[in-house]
A and B are shown apart, each in its own frame.
Chain A
Amino acid sequence: MKGRVYLTYRLAVLAAVVVAFSAEARNPDGTLGLIITPNNGVPAIVAPGGQFDIVLRQRADLELLNGNAGPALETDWAKLPGGRMRARCTVSADAKPGTYVVQATTGETSDTNKRAVFVCEKFPAYYVVAHLTDTHIGSNRHERPAADIFRDAIGAVNATEAAFVVISGDLTENGRMEQFSAFMAILDECRLPTFVCPGNHDRQALNYESVFGPLTYGFLFGKDGYVVFDTKDFLTADDLDAQNAELEILREAIKPCRWSIGVTHRYEPAQSMRSQLILYIDDPLDHLMFGHWHVFHENDPRIAPWQTTPMTMTPATVNGYVRLYDISDKEVRPREPQRVAQTELPKPPPAEDAGQEAEDAGQEAEDGGPDAEDGEEE
């Protein structure tokens, strides 16, 4: 799995060579440029005086910008396989809370990643996480475009007290670049950090990797550790054993954390025994957030056969749903999913019944709508 990312990196490096000097975010086609991470799907959250990593295709001058200015960065460089470079950055202690752009400049190239670094005042012991999943941008599952439903969901989480958002795969309907571009355009309307992972619908060449970078990564939020991983390609992930080392290293890294929480698109226990040994058996995660199934079926044995890690499936955002989690010293508590977006447009009523039809449509939305996708499996 990681190898694919490297391949993507190489392809993207090739693409970067032909791109003339530009201070635009990413490459013109939306793929990652000089900076791989952090980006708007794999951001860094840091407190003043804290550290985060920037992974680049080559060494560059780095800045954090909010407007035209930003906090000073101290960088410690290391080489990574494949010719990449990692800058371990220390944010100055007087950094102001806010959302920052990462800018990297070499002699010939400049690149910026928007919504890449979030400086928070401090990490609270209690916080809220918003979970979106299965946005399926580009789909025609409902009369309303999936993009409009996603926009409503982003608007809804913007209005919550959530500290950050996880979006667990099937970001797009077919993994096409224009669908990723449309996804990112709405993603960037979010005021919160947004962490994404791929789903089976995002499988189209190496488009996901070229847009967001790593398929598997981890991050810390205060005392808690999160591992975000790919389940879209079970064969490579398991039999060919490419992703498991990354999972083991990430799992080990968050072992001392208050809570260790996994985020993935789907949970398929028959697919990857090694990943299950790592994540659910030898040292079980404290919670797993996932999607894929679109509708509830919590009694389905596919969800938690090993019964070692509590798992919460969130219904699809393309069906209008978002779920919030309360994270505290006491527990990781999933709230009931909220219907935050209307998925169907009211049909144009006949002129004589217009008033009654509109009233019915409004009631239907309040009831959660007629989810025609019951039993739907993605």
Chain B
Amino acid sequence: MSHWGQMVQNSFIMRFYGVFVIGLICMASAMADQIAFVRATEQEDQQVCVLDVETGALTQVGPGKRDGRPVWSPDGSLLAFDTQTESGMGICVARPDGSELRYVSSTSGWRRGPRWSADGKMLAYTVHGESALDVRVGVCDIESGTEQIWPKNGETPMLHPVWMPGMRLLYALRPGQDVQWDAGTAEGLEWLQTGGVLLAIGIRQAGGKPTTDLYVVTSENAAPLPEWVMPSPGNYTEWAAEPSPDGWCIAWESDDGGDREVFVLNKKGAFDLSNDRSSDWNPCWSPDAEWVAFESFRSGRRGIYRAYVGTARVSPVAVTPGADNWSPSWAPDGRRIAFVSDRTGNPEIYVANAKGRDVRQLTGNGNLNFAPAWRPTEDAE
């Protein structure tokens, strides 16, 4: 090949790759700027939609039958949510363009609150039985559609499961410590090395009343987080557990201390992250695992705050006199937060930078808009 020919070929290859790279950047950018949410038009008409943050283009994704809070698969290619079936609620997945909508769980009974495994192959959710305390964790392989109850022979009622990115946190805390699980005592933590691991809310009886604990759940076993890793001994009601994206921390809320607070457990132990006399709820990790956004009533109404995990310093993100702000969702770059606010009198989706500035209203179509979930990008995983 001539020198000229080589140059032409190189130029072609460079252009090809240039276009390819630009295409990838555009795709990543487009993915980063999409938010799934629930749009409600009437009392039971709630539909999962996807909104393009820049253009405002709206795509209807869910069937619109009491669709619940959407959650993105880790690679951002699928959405999962619960929606109404003929006999209750089931778990659906769909592409963000609304295609390939299908039930992946049984459509009989009540299944709610899906959460993706890190590899995007499984969903965990709550399976509701006939009575209030008849709740179990269901795990579904979305390709085969097979469902298992985790743990297989567990007796503790469980709900609100979320996948742990790994168990290195517990290993770091106390390697070799015996753990009491449903069927006895496990030596060390080897029983956790059986595949996927979930964190769930377990219900147990204490003094004749139900209370909740954070449980580690596998396909075979379940065990409450040992008392030695909790903030203090006692019967407190734990809720809304969220592992950090890097798997090194767990954030959750508890009434330990007298009112509802957001706590964090890391390898140094557990501490009160939000620490205020008013209620603090619903922790939500930033992608870099350095911040936790949460809801708090410290201003009198519900507002969104963020706390730096390293120092527990709290600063406001969205606080509006006389109105509520809730449901924070971090952008994959960690620089922006989407949330719901009723500051105009109607619940709408907003976005602000992580410091609460540059607030922009994204919806305003006369509907009621809830539960924003920012689409992840692969490079953010």
With the chains together, A204 CA to B327 CA distance in Å? 27
Kindly list chain A residues whose C-beta atoms are within 8 Å of the C-beta of B260: 277, 282
Q: Nearest-CB distance from B20 to chain A (Å)?
A: 40
Kindly list chain A residues whose C-beta atoms are within 8 Å of the C-beta of B135: 270
* A282-B237 contact given A205-B43, A235-B66, A236-B40, CB 8 Å threshold: yes
Is the beta-carbon distance between A4 and B368 smaller than 8 angstroms?
Answer: yes
How large, as a class, is the contact surface on chain B?
Answer: 35 or more
Kindly list chain B residues whose C-beta atoms are within 8 Å of the C-beta of A10: 345-346
Kindly list chain A residues whose C-beta atoms are within 8 Å of the C-beta of B220: none
CB-nearest residue of chain A relative to B367?
A: A7
Q: CB within 8 Å of B: which of A65-91?
A: 78-84
What number of residue pairs across chains A and B have CB atoms under 8 A from each other?
Answer: 130
Query: A-facing mask of B244-279, CB < 8 A → 1, else 0?
Result: 000000000001000110000000000000000011
Q: Is B323 at the interface (CB under 8 A from chain A)?
A: yes
* A277-B239 contact given A240-B370, A245-B324, A308-B209, CB 8 Å threshold: yes
Is the beta-carbon distance between B43 and A252 smaller than 8 angstroms?
Answer: no
Q: Which of B126-134, B167-175, B188-196 contacts A (4 or more CB under 8 A)?
A: B126-134
Query: B-facing mask of A1-14, CB < 8 A → 1, else 0?
Result: 01110110110000
Query: A-facing mask of B52-88, CB < 8 A → 1, else 0?
Result: 0000000000000010110000000000001000000
Q: Is A249 at the interface (CB under 8 A from chain B)?
A: yes
* A81-B237 contact given A241-B370, A269-B132, CB 8 Å threshold: no
Q: CB within 8 Å of B: which of A59-117?
A: 78-84
Is the beta-carbon distance between B279 and A248 smaller than 8 angstroms?
Answer: yes
SS of B interface (majority): loop
Q: Which of A159-167, A180-188, A299-307 contacts B (4 or more CB under 8 A)?
A: A299-307
Q: Is A144 at the interface (CB under 8 A from chain B)?
A: no
Is the beta-carbon distance between B301 and A249 smaller than 8 angstroms?
Answer: yes
Kindly list chain A residues whose C-beta atoms are within 8 Å of the C-beta of B115: none
| Size of interface on A: residues with Cβ below 8 Å to B | 43
Kindly list chain B residues whose C-beta atoms are within 8 Å of the C-beta of A82: 342, 344-346
With the chains together, A269 CA to B347 CA distance in Å? 26
Kindly list chain B residues whose C-beta atoms are within 8 Å of the C-beta of A281: 237, 255
With the chains together, A68 CA to B131 CA distance in Å? 56
Q: Is B32 at the interface (CB under 8 A from chain A)?
A: no
Is the beta-carbon distance between B133 and A7 smaller than 8 angstroms?
Answer: no
Is the beta-carbon distance between A249 and B371 smaller than 8 angstroms?
Answer: no
Is the beta-carbon distance between B302 and A205 smaller than 8 angstroms?
Answer: no
Q: Nearest-CB distance from B38 to chain A (Å)?
A: 6
**Residue in A3, A78, A80, A204 with the greatest tally of chain B CB atoms within 10 Å:** A3
Contact among A6, A252, A278, A306 with B210 in the assembled complex (CB-CB below 8 Å): A306
Contact among B44, B326, B344, B368 with A81 in the assembled complex (CB-CB below 8 Å): B344
Q: Is A220 at the interface (CB under 8 A from chain B)?
A: no
Q: Is B322 at the interface (CB under 8 A from chain A)?
A: yes
CB-nearest residue of chain A relative to B279?
A: A248
Is the beta-carbon distance between B43 and A233 smaller than 8 angstroms?
Answer: yes
Q: Is A361 at the interface (CB under 8 A from chain B)?
A: no
Is the beta-carbon distance between A240 and B38 smaller than 8 angstroms?
Answer: yes
Is the beta-carbon distance between A273 and B159 smaller than 8 angstroms?
Answer: yes
With the chains together, A202 CA to B322 CA distance in Å? 29
Kindly list chain A residues whose C-beta atoms are within 8 Å of the C-beta of B340: 241
Q: Is A378 at the interface (CB under 8 A from chain B)?
A: no
Q: Is A142 at the interface (CB under 8 A from chain B)?
A: no
Q: Is A242 at the interface (CB under 8 A from chain B)?
A: yes
* A233-B44 contact given A6-B345, A10-B346, CB 8 Å threshold: yes
CB-nearest residue of chain B relative to A9?
A: B345
Q: Is A239 at the interface (CB under 8 A from chain B)?
A: yes
Is the beta-carbon distance between B326 and A241 smaller than 8 angstroms?
Answer: yes
Kindly list chain A residues whose C-beta atoms are within 8 Å of the C-beta of B281: 274
* A301-B133 contact given A281-B255, A308-B209, CB 8 Å threshold: yes
With the chains together, A326 CA to B85 CA distance in Å? 43
Q: Is B42 at the interface (CB under 8 A from chain A)?
A: yes
Chain A residues in the interface with B (C-beta under 8 A): 2-4, 6-7, 9-10, 78-84, 203-206, 233, 235-236, 239-242, 245, 248-249, 252, 269-270, 273-274, 277-278, 281-282, 301-302, 305-308
Known: A81-B322, A241-B371; 5 extra A-B contacts, CB below 8 A, are: A3-B346, A79-B322, A81-B345, A206-B42, A248-B279
15 A-B pairs with C-beta separation under 8 A:
A80-B345, A81-B343, A203-B44, A204-B43, A205-B43, A239-B371, A241-B327, A249-B300, A249-B302, A252-B297, A270-B135, A277-B237, A282-B237, A305-B131, A306-B210
Leading 8 A-B pairs by shortest Cβ distance: A82-B345, A269-B132, A305-B132, A240-B370, A3-B347, A245-B302, A3-B368, A6-B345
Chain B residues in the interface with A (C-beta under 8 A): 38, 40, 42-44, 46, 66, 68-69, 82, 110, 112-113, 128, 131-133, 135, 159-160, 208-210, 237, 239, 255, 259-260, 278-279, 281-282, 297, 300-302, 322-324, 326-327, 340, 342-347, 366, 368, 370-371
